[in-house]
A and B are shown apart, each in its own frame.
Chain A
Amino acid sequence: MSDEVVLQATDVVKTFSSRGKKIGTRVVSRAVNGVSLEVRRGETLGIVGESGCGKSTLARCLVQLSPVTSGTVAFEGTTLTGLSRRRLRPYRRKFQLVFQDPYASLNPRRTVGDIVAEPMRINHLGSSSEIDARVRELFSTVGLDSAAINRYPHEFSGGQRQRIGIARSLSLNPTLVIADEPVSALDVSIQAQVLNLMADLQQEFNLTYVFIAHDLGVVRHVSDRVGVMYLGEFVEFGDVGSLYETPLHPYTEALLSVVPELNDTDAPRRERIIITGDVPDPADRPSGCPFHPRCPVATDLCRVEKPELVTIVPGRQVACHYPRNLDAVKAANSLT
């Protein structure tokens, strides 16, 4: 991993407007509410959050599949937001997506070889025999039999389909791969295979990953740095080991405490913090801190004043008036 920034998002906002309850009114949901982040070359940035927190919308904004409402996204120094489709096209090759559902993301009426070849055909990368050779190579790269290129998606299992989706994302030699819940539809034994494959490919092709998932174990396993999203915002950002051991935000702390774990050692388990209620409607955001209605330690201040994302120690940021584990985080930092 280097310090070179591949992708930079600054204050990205994405709103959706929909019909309100009363005739003629509109309500505006802020799905992504002022997100800034940097992705460095060769790293895996994990983004974790529960359903509806805006992580997929953020992914779509990062790759310009959805236009941002405000804010900027820059790739290798070039600002992408505001570029026309035609001007954007040369950049699109460099960042690719892997989708969650390997059943919905592959066209059932095309052969898998066609599916993997299509990005190369669109970009006129070589003659048809060259593309054919490249498809076969990609198949063996992701651990599939290259004799299978004339088959259709339904002939493959979920894990194999996800490998096909990965092969397609690699076909244009991207710099950055954004994977949106790439393993959540897979059984655990197959999930492990795909995660290992993604790690191997990252090494081999020096890829940078943005890895979006709701599974905290998976995110811990793959990420170098992690951002925790809640209601369209990052509430905490940090290096993976330190964030998991000493979470600063009460939401992160609660999330980590309730993941069901195998009690296969005698180590005492974390005390479970069960937060009540549901995630609020992004069209009706609470005042102050977005987490305050569910937060076990919220005070009057949290109801009025929204905490900014601030750096506590290098590599650890949190948006909370009353961060947890503060002493432990500072002590660990002074040691290094």
Chain B
Amino acid sequence: MPEAPLLQVRDLTVSFATRQGPLRAVDGLSFDVGQKEIVGIVGESGSGKSVAIYSMLGLVREKNVTITGSVLFEGREILGIGDKELQPIRGGSIGMIFQDPMTALTPVYTVGWQLVEQIRQHLHLPKAAARQRAIELLGQVGIPDPKSRVDRYPHEFSGGMRQRVVIAMALSCNPRLLIADEPTTALDVTTQAQILDLMLKLQDTFDSSIVIITHDMGVIAEMAHRVVVMYAGRPVEIAPELELVRRPRHPYTWGLLDAVPRLDAKHERLRTIRGNAVSPLNLPPGCAFAPRCDYVMDQCAQRPPLHGSLDHVDACWLSGEQRVTIRSAVEEHS
């Protein structure tokens, strides 16, 4: 029998009551994260990928929000439990890496102070031992001379080094699950490579699972074992990484993959997705992608369910044959 998944998300829906009516930022998201698995959540701005993750951890606190569904972490429901019960999970068994390493750290305390605070909160170590652990962690994430760096302030670090500090904080309590929200978006490509490399190494050392949220298909290809593609708050395709980039099924995934300018070949024109992202306030009644889809049909007025084979599902009404015809025509054309 396979191991039970570490994280099990079922039908997560996050809805904000607004003056213009309900805004469904996340609408029916389900996915699993297995032990030691890296799951990528990819989507453009406003697709609901960050809101989904923050709502699971009780970090979406707006008064007008309604969160439904179920989130099982290590077999235990964490959706809707109080702060008191969530506290040991957040920063304890679930570590977070945020996009902007400058705002994730407070500028008024040294990085050592911040690390020690978190370690003592969760592991109840004496001060000296916590400091020792902080120095150890800074060394593990590749910060040179951690003994003296531990007493420095965040502004004395470069962007890449700050992100290493944030990673050290996320790892400080041996988390089972690491959630990384656009961890390299604010970084240059050489620094990004250092950080992604570090995350993979640490994942191996610490045996943790990772959920990585990004808009960059390249980062997904580099990191993820399995990918959830989101559009307008809904999952439109879920598949293993290699399967997704080589045999994508949903027209939105096609668009996302085709629009990336390539290093290896120069095409005269990029294929684009027409129009702009839809406002989640006035989604069409059926498929949310229909207004921008080149292959829209009558059926698309109905919302397509996620369907497909065991580990590759997508939400689109096109038949298998139609998709094969479309993709081979596109490939011939390019």
Contacts and interface: CB of A to CB of B under 8 A. Distances in A.
Query: Does B associate with A?
Result: yes
Interface of A: 50-51, 157, 159-160, 187-193, 195-196, 199, 214-218, 220-221, 240-241, 244, 254-256, 258-264, 267, 272, 274-276, 278-279
Contacts of B160: 278
A263 B259 contact: no
A42 B45 CA distance: 34
- Counting chain B CB atoms within 10 Å of each CB, the highest count among A196, A261, A275 belongs to A261
Contacts of A272: 193, 197
A215 B218 CA distance: 12
B270 to A, nearest CB: 4
Given A157-B276, A264-B257, A214 B189 contact: yes
A189 B215 CA distance: 11
Interface of B: 44-45, 158, 160-161, 188-194, 196-197, 215-219, 221-222, 242, 245-246, 255-257, 259-264, 266-267, 269-274, 276-277
Contact of B189 (A188, A241, A255, A276): A255
Contacts of B217: 188, 262
Contacts of B263: 216-217, 220, 244, 256, 259, 261
Contacts of A264: 245-246, 257
B266 A240 contact: yes
Contacts of A188: 44, 215, 217, 256, 259-260
B125 to A, nearest CB: 32
B219 A260 contact: yes
- Counting chain B CB atoms within 10 Å of each CB, the highest count among A193, A258, A262, A275 belongs to A262
Contacts of A216: 189, 263
Contacts of A259: 189, 218, 263
Contacts of B262: 217, 220-221, 261
A217 B189 contact: no
B192 A192 contact: no
Contacts of A192: 259, 261, 270-273
Nearest to A48: B189
Nearest to A270: B263
A259 B217 CA distance: 11
Nearest to A222: B261
7 contacts: A216-B263, A217-B263, A220-B263, A221-B262, A221-B267, A259-B218, A275-B190
A194 to B, nearest CB: 9
If over half of A's interface residues share one DSSP class (helix, strand or loop), that class is named, otherwise mixed; here it is helix
A241 B196 CA distance: 28
Contact of A221 (B188, B219, B261): B261
Contact of A220 (B189, B261, B272): B261
B201 to A, nearest CB: 11
Contacts of A195: 261, 270
A301 to B, nearest CB: 23
A65 B193 CA distance: 34
Contact of A261 (B188, B196, B221, B242): B221
A189 B261 contact: no
Q: A-B pairs with the 4 shortest C-beta distances?
A: A260-B218, A258-B193, A221-B261, A189-B273
Nearest to A245: B264
Contacts of B158: 278
A157 B194 contact: no
Nearest to A53: B188
A188 B253 CA distance: 12
B246 A221 contact: no
A22 B101 CA distance: 29
Given A188-B259, A189-B273, A196-B272, A260 B215 contact: no
Contacts of B264: 261, 267
Contact of A187 (B44, B189, B193, B196): B44
B165 to A, nearest CB: 14
B324 to A, nearest CB: 17
B270 A261 contact: no
Contact of A189 (B44, B193, B218, B219): B44
B188 A187 contact: no
A196 B218 CA distance: 21
A241 B269 CA distance: 16
Contacts of A278: 158, 160-161, 191
A88 to B, nearest CB: 34
